[in-house]
Amino acid sequence: MPSVSPGRYEYSATTDIPGGQWMPESNQFQSDHLQALILSEIAVASGDDPDNPLIEVGSPDSELVFVQFDHDLSAADEAILDGLVARSADYFIVTSDGGNTDLGNPSLVSKNAGLLSSTTITLQMKNGAGTSINGHAENVVLDITGLVPINKSGGVFDGNGKFAFTVGASLERGSVQVEITAESLPPRTFFAKWS
């Protein structure tokens, strides 16, 4: 999208962002996510300094989103920016059925302790409209607190936009809390309780 004034690019939340919303209640990290994407994908923005910012992301209302640089972008970088604005609405869900049904945030799985209590948890990437997407190989970090075993502490979303980990079988009662982060996507909290 061409700049509307030197270095300023404006987007309609309703037409340029999947789901048609900017900073909805479910994604209060959208502005941070867009800024992180710009810093990692547009070379001229990589030298951004918080004390003297090269870019600013904002919205005067829920309908308009602007990105302000200190100068106009090249045509190639403008095309990249258009894609990043759409990606700013991406998020992931936490599921126990292979990526279909969101367990909510925080998410909870309860099982009876025993040899068969092992459960696979799948994270599924979504765009702002709620459609499953392949993602962009975002890194996942699991910050684990508790006694129930988990087979991974992190990884990468695969080519299908999924990342799976296993909450292992346990003969003993216990619980685990997992704070899930994936780069600048909205974080999620997962609990497993074995009783």
pLDDT mean across residues, the chain: 88
Task: Work out the pLDDT band at 3, boundaries 50, 70, 90.
Answer: low
Mean pLDDT of 42-53: 62
Write out pLDDT tens, residues 94-128: 999 999 999 999 999 999 988 888 999 999 999 99
CATH of 91-194, one of 2.60.40.10, 1.10.760.10, 3.40.1410.10, 3.30.70.260: 2.60.40.10
Nearest to 163 by CA among 178, 146, 176, 174: 178
C-alpha distances out from residue 21 to 14, 94, 115, Å: 6, 22, 45
pLDDT in the model for residue 6: 81
The runs of H, that is alpha helices, within the chain are 13-16, 30-41, 75-87
Environment class of 76 (CB within 10 Å of its CB; exposed 0-12, middle 13-18, buried 19+): exposed
Q: Look up residue 75 and give its two tokens.
A: 């045509």
Pick the residue with more confidence: 20 or 62?
A: 20
| pLDDT at residue 2, as a whole number | 61
141 versus 23: the higher-pLDDT residue is: 141
Say yes or no to pLDDT of 43 above 90: no
pTM: 0.87
Question: Which residue carries 């994936």 as its tokens?
Answer: 182
Q: Are the beta carbons of 80 and 44 closer than 8 angstroms?
A: no
Q: Which residues, in sequence order, are CB contacts of 122 under 8 Å at separation 6+?
A: 94, 95, 96, 97, 98, 99, 162, 163, 164
Share of the chain above pLDDT 90, in %: 57
**For residue 164, pLDDT beyond 60:** yes
DSSP codes joined into one string, 62-109: SSEEEEEESSPPPHHHHHHHHHHHHHTT-EEEEESSSSSS---SSEEE
Q: What is the domain partition of the chain in residue ranges? A: 8-87, 91-194
Residue 46 confidence class, pLDDT cut points 50, 70, 90: low
